[in-house]
Amino acid sequence: MKIVITGVTRGLGRALAEEFIRLGHTVIGCGRSGTEIFDLRMTYAAPHDFSTVDVGLDSKVALWAARVLEVGSPPDLLINNAGLMNRRAPLWEVDDREFTKVADVNLRGVANVIRHFVPAMVAAKKGVIVNLSSGWGRSVAPEVAPYCATKYAIEGLTKALAAELPAGMAAVPLNPGVIDTDMLRQAWADGAASYPKAADWARGAAPFILALGPKDNGQSLSVPGAED
Domain for residue 135, yes or no?
yes
Residues 145-156 have pLDDT tens digits of 999 999 999 999
pLDDT tier for residue 196 given thresholds of 50, 70 and 90: confident
pLDDT tier for residue 183 given thresholds of 50, 70 and 90: low
| Catalytic residue from among 44, 147, 152, 195 | 147
Domain for residue 8, yes or no?
yes
Q: If we measure between CA atoms, which residue out of 32, 91, 86, 37 comes closest to residue 56?
A: 32
Q: Which segments of 97-168 are extended strands (E)?
A: 127-132
How many domains does the chain divide into? Answer: 1
Q: Which domain holds residue 210?
A: 2-222
Considering only residues 144 and 193, tell me which one the structure prediction assigns the higher pLDDT. 144
Domain for residue 227, yes or no?
no
Say if residue 197's pLDDT is above 90.
Answer: no
Write the burial class of residue 163 (CB in 10 Å: 0-12 exposed, 13-18 middle, 19+ buried): exposed
Confirm whether 152 is a catalytic residue.
no
Domain for residue 211, yes or no?
yes
Please report, for the domain that includes residue 84, its CATH number. 3.40.50.720
Domain for residue 50, yes or no?
yes
pLDDT tier for residue 186 given thresholds of 50, 70 and 90: low
Domain for residue 39, yes or no?
yes
